[in-house]
Chains A and B, each alone.
Chain A
Amino acid sequence: MIPVMIGVSIIVFSFMHLTPGDPVQIMLGEYAQPAEIEAMREKLGLNDPLPLQYWNFVRNVLQGDLGDSIYYQQPVLTLIRQRIKHTFILSLTSLFISYLIAFPIGIISALKRNTWIDDLGMSFALLGVSMPNFWLGMMLILLFSLKWGLLPATGVGSWQQLVLPAVTLGTSGAALTTRLVRSSMLEVIGHDYIRTARAKGLSEWKVITKHAFRNALIPVVTMIGIRLGFILGGSVITEKVFARPGMGRLIVDSIFRRDYLVVQGVTLIIAFSILVANLCVDLLYGLIDPKIRYE
């Protein structure tokens, strides 16, 4: 985990500093005088050599300080703290929704392979993947907020405000997961032990839930780790459309503002979260498949 975090920090630090554009100029605006720009650069340590800036960054991180945002003039940790809760709530809810949709459709499609039910399920998957989040979000807002007035379009704080963004993010995730569940189930139900289970006289429900589904779960669970990483940093469009203050929006806005320390800080937190999620996924393998053991 530590080498990965060091690698991530070096890559992000280098890329941000190689990108053209001066954060002080962007922050101080059009009218800034060179003396003011210089004073601000000095104050923020941006005139130091890059290796020294990197070392200062790492040293501060080890002391639990991610530095101060150039743009907001606030500690990066404060900015993250204000947003991380909303991002995690949205990520986990949308993951839950995507699996809630994907499992039944994927399993039924696999069981009814090459029937109209399968075609319908796969059409949903194709539609889900094809619909851009921005478009879907806008459509949901137009229907549920503007037309029917059932749910609020923006903001955070109540469960009602979570529904539309979570469904938007969850739908695209569900589409991918549905295909994965289907193919994984198809592979499993072709195995001999499923035929044996059926030959033993077990009910179809038991064959599917106890024997087939559990074994089909491994690739699906692997997907959780990947999806979580994607949602944590990649939900920027959804956060923007639904005006949710989140990590995705913070990182993208900060890239445009060249707010180095925020980008570095948020990336480290996201990378750490993904590593933890993947660790949890690895541990889950053992629960799903008793054959898997960790030495």
Chain B
Amino acid sequence: MKKLYVILTLLIALFLLNFVGLAEKDIRIGMNSDATTLDPRFITSTSGMYITGQIFNGLVKLTKDLEYVADLATFENTSDTTYVFYLKKGVKFHDGSELRAADVKFTYESILDPAMASPKAGNYKNIVGAEEFINGQTDQVAGIKIIDQYTISFELKEPFAPFLVNMNTGIVPKHIAEKEGKLDHNPVGTGPFKFKSRLVEQETILVANPDYFEGAPKLNRVIYKILPESSVGVVELQTGTIDVLMDITKEDIVIINGDPSLILASIAGTNYQYIGFNVTNSPVDNKYLRKAIAYALDKEAITKYFEGSRTYVPLAATSYLAKEYANDPKINKYQFSVGKAREMLDKSGYSGEEVVIKTSEGRKELAEIMKQMMDAVGIKTKIELLEWGTFYADVKQGRAQIYLLGWYGILDPDSYWFFHSEMTPPQGGANRMYYSNSAADYLIMKGRTTLDPEERKAVYAQLYQVLTDDVPMIFLYSKPDLSAYNKGIEGFEPAPYPVTILSNLKNAYWKR
């Protein structure tokens, strides 16, 4: 009888140890929305990137200091317009097949294929032969050349400084993607984790890839859980139902900081929040009225209130470039001044017309603060609060005077999408201010084709002088990028979006 007890006790202990061991090999990550697709060629959402970043690798990757380094390939510029990528040998897809240059060529050509309707296609149109391929004149992109099984080159129509920004898209296996089209149901990549299962808007499970080319991850499984209500996400983190929470609100910070079992990963964000003017709509088509508004707003106080970092140019506040421009006396910072605001108001000939701020729920508070400050200098202000879809459609279609938005993932000063006159809707692009200035257009194009960093910096200094003089936007602040995790996890490093703490997930582990 005694022997039986001993055996039973041992068995139970063994079972418990095994259980503890298993639990410590999993990480559960909470996100507030689910990925719409798991195919990296189509991903535009942050949650999609959080998941596919573990399944796929790109040719290059961003470090936490926002520098591009080799991921699947090392690279070199053989000329101002040619990039050659040398694939690492022996990299295997999750099905055991080896990564080859043909997979890279297929990935980028399928993004450009109009039948696939990838939202990323616009990023690669500057590759030689891309337009002809899109128009159906050729069945291959001439500028993407396979040199040998492990070498591939990309030839551009003209020098393009931010080229590498778009070269971290996950590479898909040609032999699978050719058959399946969109890799939604069983995505196969080269990443540290393999796809296991998915329940849309519930959870996605990945398992470790023991053959990962940089070594097997320390974790067994990664489980992504969808928690649409942020306050519940924090509770789940506190109760240990999840181990990492990716989407943190201002209100959550106090709770997380007050809980000794949690760590808040906070880092300067790669975003900037702004006030946009549709410069074609009266009365804000008047440059002096826009300047009056810029002076009337206490942007330092607004930045402090929203716990951001002040930026004076369309760059994330903490990028070294933004810091340099902040000290440039030629760039107008529009320091808060009621006197100057009134002076500009007189100059504008403003006669009391109503100025409308359009916003959605997320930036309602900013609109209210603005209204108070604008009213104080005599600008009659009205807030129009709209549901997001309606608000966004209005802004895109030019039915707005002042609107409140932000840009995220700003990694390069290239401003073509945001300020060039060709990018005004309905042509496409994101110049929702309908801003057009030939001097700005010239500088924008010069900035993206100038490769020398110092020369490029000087070009953007000139561009920002033009932009701050025309005031199509008032640049406000950058929000910090936040996430939180259990103190028991080792290996995470705070990193800004789009890198995030998850970039180091393969090296993360539970402390004993």
**Residues of A participating in the B interface, judged by any CB pair closer than 8 Å:** 19-22, 25-37, 39-40, 43, 71-74, 79, 82, 138, 141-142, 145-146, 149, 152-156, 240-243, 245, 249-250, 256-258
Contact = CB atoms under 8 A, between A and B. Distances in A.
A30 B430 contact: yes
B235 A39 contact: no
Given A153-B239, A243-B226, A31 B184 contact: no
Contacts of B184: 73-74
Contacts of B202: 155-156, 245
12 contacts: A20-B394, A21-B390, A25-B396, A26-B389, A31-B44, A31-B430, A32-B428, A71-B36, A73-B36, A73-B184, A153-B232, A245-B202
A154 B227 contact: yes
A40 B122 contact: no
Contacts, number: 118
B36 A256 contact: no
A243 B203 CA distance: 11
A35 B120 CA distance: 12
Interface string B95-122: 0000000000000000000100111111
Most chain A CB within a 10 A radius of its CB, from B119, B120, B134: B119
A37 to B, nearest CB: 7
Interface string B206-236: 0000000000000000000111110110011
Nearest to A29: B44
B119 A32 contact: yes
B393 A243 contact: no
Contact of B122 (A36, A71, A241): A36
B232 A72 contact: no
B57 interface: no
Contacts of B118: 36
B241 A152 contact: yes
Given A35-B428, A257-B389, 17 more contacts: A21-B389, A21-B393, A25-B392, A26-B389, A28-B119, A33-B121, A33-B122, A33-B428, A34-B426, A36-B118, A36-B119, A40-B117, A74-B184, A155-B202, A240-B229, A245-B199, A250-B201
Which 10 residue pairs across A and B have the least CB separation, nearest first? A21-B389, A34-B428, A29-B44, A28-B119, A33-B122, A21-B393, A245-B201, A33-B428, A243-B227, A20-B390
A118 B247 CA distance: 47
Contacts of A32: 119, 122, 428
Contacts of B396: 25
B417 interface: yes
Contacts of A31: 44, 119-120, 122-123, 417, 429-430
Contacts of B120: 31
Interface of B: 36-37, 44, 114, 117-123, 134, 182, 184, 199-202, 225-229, 231-232, 235-236, 238-239, 241, 387-390, 392-394, 396, 417, 426-430
A82 B235 contact: no
A31 B425 CA distance: 11
A155 B389 contact: no
A138 B231 contact: yes
B232 A242 contact: yes
B162 to A, nearest CB: 13
A82 B119 contact: no
A243 B392 CA distance: 27
A20 B199 contact: no
A39 B239 contact: no
Given A20-B389, A29-B119, A36-B117, A82 B199 contact: yes
A243 B228 contact: yes
A154 B241 contact: yes
A91 B74 CA distance: 56
Contacts of A43: 117
B228 A20 contact: no
Contact of A153 (B123, B182, B241): B241
B389 A258 contact: yes
A37 B396 CA distance: 13
A33 B430 CA distance: 10
Given A156-B202, A256-B389, A145 B235 contact: yes
A149 B392 contact: no
A36 B37 CA distance: 17
A19 B426 CA distance: 19
A166 to B, nearest CB: 16
A243 B239 contact: no
B114 A145 contact: no
Given A73-B36, A240-B228, A79 B200 contact: yes
Contacts of A142: 235
